[in-house]
A and B are shown apart, each in its own frame.
Chain A
C-alpha cells in the first residue's frame, strides 16, 4: 500500500485597476507593450510603489482562507534571469508573507478534509515571451500585475481532491471579487508537488508538476504522477526529485529540470519597499467588509430554505446567482420554486441567449412576478415557461406579457363551475357513465369544458369543478404486470394475464366511499421480471399523466421481483407527486383482491407521496429489499432505515418529455449503467470488458460497509478502477449486506475511495440503480446526473 501526498501552489491574479508597483493599467488582451511604463519595464532608476488595493485584496483572501494575517508584512527579491522578467528579480515575499497557517475544508465523494494553507504571499507577475520563427518577442503588459500565491501543505491525497480545492478556491475568489478564477486564461494558475511513499513511511521524494492550466489537467496530471511514482516504487526504484511539465497533448508529464539545476533564488528583503503595517483596525475593517463566503452561504441557504445540497451548490456557484435567488425570495416567492426555476429553466435560457443573469432582461422582481402568477393559478407551468422565454425576448414584465398575449387562465371558481354545469347538461351519456362508477368519461368531459373555455381554463381547477359538480373522486389503477394482475394456469403456474376488473373486485367493499370512480389502465401483460426500459418509460409517463390530470390517487399493481426498483424509480422521478401513488404487489393472483383493496384505501388516506402497500403493511418506496422467506410468502424489508433519514437524496424533475422520448432516454440510460456484485472470483477484466462495451457507470455491490479486494491480481479490482478513472467511468458502491457504505471504517474502503469509488451511503443496490437511471433520464448532462449521486450526509458543518 502506498500513500500519496499532494501540495498545491496556486497563483491568483488580483483584479486591481492598476499594476502592483506602478500606475499602468492591469488589463489583458490589449496591444502588446501598451500598458507599460519605466517602472514595470525595469528601467534604470525606477522604484516600486505598492498598490494599496492589491494589499487589501491579498489580506481579504488570506482572511477568507482562515490565515493569521501578518502584522508587519515585507517584500523580498527573488533572483532569477528570464527575459520576461524585466528586473531579472521578482518582487515577492519570503519570511513575512501576507498570511500564514490557514485552512480550507473540502469534500470529495463523501470524505471531508481540512487542507492546511501554509501561507499566502503577494508578488508581481512577469511578462510574456512569444517565439516567432527565429525571433523571441516580449510583451510586458502583464509584467507587474499583482499575483497572490497560495501555498498548501501536502494534505491532499488524490488528484480529484486537488480539483475540488481549485473549484472551491475559484468560487471563493470570485465571491470576494478579487480574481476571475479563469485557469484557461491564466488568471488562476496551479503548480503541484506530489510525493508517494509506502504507507506509514516518511514523506517520499517530491516532484513538482508545472503547466497545469485547467482544473481538468490538474486532475489528470496528478493522477498520472501518483501512478508514475507508485510504479517506480513498486518496481523497487527511486523517484528522482525533479520538476516536470504536463504535456496536455500527450496526456503525460515530461522532465523539465532536476534538482541539480534547481534555482538558487537568493532571497533577500526588498530594500525599495518599507515594511507594511496591517494593524488590528485594518484587519477589523477588512473582516467587517468580508462578503459571506460560498461555504457559509450554502450552509445558510440549506438551513433557512431547506434546499438540497446539489441545488444549493448550483445556486451558490456564482455569487450573482445566489444574490439573485435571495432577491427573488425577498420579493415573496417560494424558495423551492425559485431554486428549481433558477437552476433549470432560467439557466437554459441564459445559455441559449448567451447572456449573464445580471445582463439579462430577467430581474428578481420579474421572476417573482412570474412565480406569483404560477402560484395563484393565473397561468400554468407550460405558459410560465413560455412567459419566461418571452421575458427574455421582449424584455417586458410577465404580468403585461400574459395580458397582451391572452395567456391568462380562467381560475375563477364561479366561472369554472358554470362551465362544468353547462358541460354536464350537454353530455348526459358521459355523465351517466361516470355516475355508474366509471372514471374514463371524466377525461372526455374535462376536454369538452376546456374546448368551451378556448383552452384557457386552469386544468386542475377545471377538473376540480367537474368533480365537485358530479360529486366523484376518480382513482386510477394501473396494471403494471406481475402475478397480482395475472392468473394461475390449470397446471398451477402463473402467467401474465387477462386483467381482472378491479371495479368488480372492489364493488362489494363497504368501506370505500361512493364517490370513488375507477379507471383501469393496463400497461403490462408481462411478469415483473420481464420489465424493460420501454415499460418503465410507459409507466412513468402514465403516472405523470394521471397525477397531472386526475385525481385522488394512483394505484399501481406490480410484481414482487422488481418492485424495489420500480418503487424507488417512481419516488426519484416523483419526489412531490401532489397525490398519493401507491404500489402494491402480491406473489400469487389469489392474494390480489385483498391487497388491491388495501392499496385503494391507502391511496385515499396516505399523504401525497410514493408508497408501497404489501400484505404486512405500508412501506416507503426507497430501500425496499425483497427477501422471500418461504414459498408463497413475500417478505419485504426496508434496509438502513435510520441511515436514510440522515442522508439527503433529493429527487429529480421529470419534465414534460413525451412517452417516446422517455423511452429513448430510459434505453440510453439503462444501456450505460450496469449492476455488478463482487465475489471471490470476480476479475477486473470482466468490468473492463463491460466498459469496452460502452458502460459508463456501475452500481458495484461490495461487502459490508464497503470493502473489496483492490489488489493487483486478476481477482483484484485495481485494474478495473484504474481503467474506470482513466475513462471517466463512475463506480457507485453499495453493499451486499445491510451496511452503510462510507469508506470510513476500513483501510480497504479508504483505498477504494482513493481510486474514485463513490460511496452510496445507506442506499441499496436497487435504489441506487433506480436513482442513477432516474437522474440520467431527468438530466440532460450525464455529469450532472453523476453529481447527483454524491451525498453529503457525512459532511460536517463548518
Chain B
C-alpha cells in the first residue's frame, strides 16, 4: 500500500522521510537544482477543498518562486533569487500546494536534453545512460522517478512534451494564453507556455485547472479558462473524429509502434480514424527557430550583469561590463541562438527571414484550423526517437533541431498538445502526443483519461512508487 502524496509534508517525520527519499533518488538523476521541502499546513488538514492541497510540486527553474533560486540553468543567474512569484506558482500556493524545489533544465530552455545547462544534466530514470529530454528534463524526471506527483515546466517548442514522453509521464502544453506567463523567464514570448507534467491525467488536470485562467499581469492570457472547473469525464472514444499523422519511416521503430498502438485503441473503440498528412511539417522547425531566436535575442538582452546576475569584479566602462558578463555568463547554445536571432532581424534581411517565417506561421495556423474543422484531435509522434543517449552517442545539434518538427507545430499554432505514455519499448517509455484546437485543453485531458484506462503507464523499475 503506497502512502498518499497529500500526506508527505504533513509532519516533521513524513517530511524527513520524504526529503531523504528524494535526495537519495536524485543523487544519480540530477533532476533538482534546489530542493527544500517544508511542512505544509494544508497537508495537516486533509479536509481542504483543493485536489492539490498539501501536494508537493516541483517547479522548473525558469519559473519565479519567491526566495527560491531562479537560475534558468544558467551560470549568469547561478546565484539569483527571485523576489516574486510567477502567477502559476502563486495560484498553486493559494490552492494549498507546496513548492518543494526547482528542477534542472537546458539553459533558458534552449535544448532538448538538459545538456546545455550550466548547472546540472538530468539522467533518464529508465536508463542512466540516456537523457531525460529537455528542456524541462528535471521536471519530467522528478515525476517519473516518483519524487513529486506533478511539476511545472515550460514548453516553447516541445520542452514539456518531449521530456515527459522520454520519461513515460503525462505532459501538457496548454493553449497559448491559457496559463499566465507572468513569472516565466521568457525564451520566445509568442511561443512560450507554462505546462504541466504529472503522473496521471487526473493529477495533470487538477494542477492545470488551478493555474489556468486570465491574469491582469499577462495581457496575452485569455479569459476562456476559468479557475475552479470541475474535472472532466473520460472521453467516449467512439464519438471522436481522430486524425492520425501518416507514419514517417525514418522515425524510430518504438515511435512508430506507439502510433500504431494508439491507433489500435481507437479502432477497437470504434472511433472514426483517418490518416492525415501535414504538408508544412518540413518547414516547422525552420519557422520555429527563426521566430524563437528572433524573440530570444531581445528576451535575453536584459541579462547584462548590471542589475542582477553574475558579473566581472571590474570593468572599464558599462559597455565592457555588459560584454564580459554575457561572454562568461552565457553558454554556447544560448549565444548561438542570440546570434541567430540577431541575424534574422537584421535590417535588409528582416523580411527574408523573420517576415517569411511569420507568413509561414500564419499559414500553419490556418492549416491547423482547417484540420480541426474535420477532426477533434490529431495523433502524432512527440519526437522521432525515444530517449536518446547522453553525450556523443546521442543526436547531433542539427538532428535535434530537425527533430523538433512534431512538437513545434502546436507552439506555432498556439494550440494545446498533450504527450501521453503508451507503453515501454525495449526498456524505454514510448508515447504519442494528441493535439486539439485552441481552447480544447480539457477535451485533450478527457481523451487522455480514456487512453489512460486502455494504456496504463508503467514506472521505471529502479524507482518504484513510494507515494501515489
Q: Which residues of A contact B (CB under 8 A)?
A: 38, 41-50, 77, 79, 81, 83, 86-89, 129, 136, 138, 264, 266-268, 271-274
Contact = CB atoms under 8 A, between A and B. Distances in A.
Given A49-B217, A79-B297, A86-B307, A266 B346 contact: yes
B80 A44 contact: yes
Contacts, number: 107
A20 to B, nearest CB: 12
30 contacts: A38-B83, A38-B84, A42-B302, A42-B307, A43-B83, A43-B84, A43-B308, A44-B62, A44-B64, A44-B72, A45-B70, A47-B217, A49-B217, A49-B218, A49-B219, A77-B298, A79-B297, A79-B301, A83-B304, A83-B321, A86-B302, A88-B304, A136-B318, A266-B298, A266-B346, A268-B295, A272-B186, A272-B218, A273-B220, A274-B219
Main secondary structure of the interface of A (DSSP, over half): loop
Contacts of B84: 38, 43, 46
Contacts of A45: 62-64, 70, 82, 86, 182-186
Given A86-B307, A266-B350, A268-B295, A44 B302 contact: yes
B342 interface: yes
Interface in B298-357: 298, 301-304, 306-308, 317-319, 321-322, 342, 345-347, 350, 354
B189 interface: yes
Contacts of A77: 298
Interface of B: 62-64, 70, 72, 77, 80, 82-84, 86, 181-186, 188-190, 216-220, 294-295, 297-298, 301-304, 306-308, 317-319, 321-322, 342, 345-347, 350, 354
B219 A268 contact: no
A91 to B, nearest CB: 10
Given A47-B182, A138-B307, A268-B295, 5 more contacts: A38-B83, A47-B217, A81-B319, A88-B298, A89-B298
A47 B181 contact: yes
Contacts of B218: 47, 49, 272
Contact of B295 (A86, A271, A273): A271
Give 9 nearest A-B pairs by CB, closest first: A88-B301, A271-B190, A271-B189, A266-B345, A44-B185, A83-B318, A264-B347, A45-B185, A42-B302
A274 B218 CA distance: 10
B318 A129 contact: yes
B302 A87 contact: yes
Contacts of B62: 44-45
A81 B219 contact: no
A738 B350 CA distance: 63
A46 B183 CA distance: 5
B318 A266 contact: no
Contact of A274 (B70, B220, B308, B321): B220
A138 B306 contact: yes
Contacts of A46: 84, 182-183
A268 B354 contact: yes
A129 B298 CA distance: 21
A129 B219 CA distance: 30
A145 to B, nearest CB: 18
A93 to B, nearest CB: 15
Contacts of B182: 45-47
A123 to B, nearest CB: 15
Contacts of B345: 79, 266-268
A129 B319 CA distance: 13
Contacts of B70: 44-45
Contacts of A267: 345
A272 B184 contact: no
A272 B176 CA distance: 12
Contacts of A81: 301, 304, 319, 322
Contacts of B189: 271-272
A87 to B, nearest CB: 5
A88 B300 CA distance: 9
Contacts of A272: 181, 186, 189, 218-220
Nearest to B83: A38
Nearest to A21: B219
A87 B185 contact: no
A44 B188 CA distance: 13
Contacts of A42: 302, 307
B298 A50 contact: no
Contacts of B302: 42, 44, 86-88
Among B186, B303, B319, B350, chain A packs the most CB atoms within 10 A around the CB of B186
A86 to B, nearest CB: 7
A271 B220 CA distance: 8
A77 B72 CA distance: 23
A41 B307 contact: yes
B157 to A, nearest CB: 15
Among B77, B307, B347, chain A packs the most CB atoms within 10 A around the CB of B307
A651 B60 CA distance: 79
Contacts of B307: 41-43, 86, 138
Nearest to A262: B347
Contacts of A268: 294-295, 298, 345, 350, 354
Nearest to A140: B307
A87 B63 contact: no
A266 B295 contact: no
A136 B294 CA distance: 30
Contacts of B342: 266
A268 B347 CA distance: 11
B295 A49 contact: no
Contacts of A273: 219-220
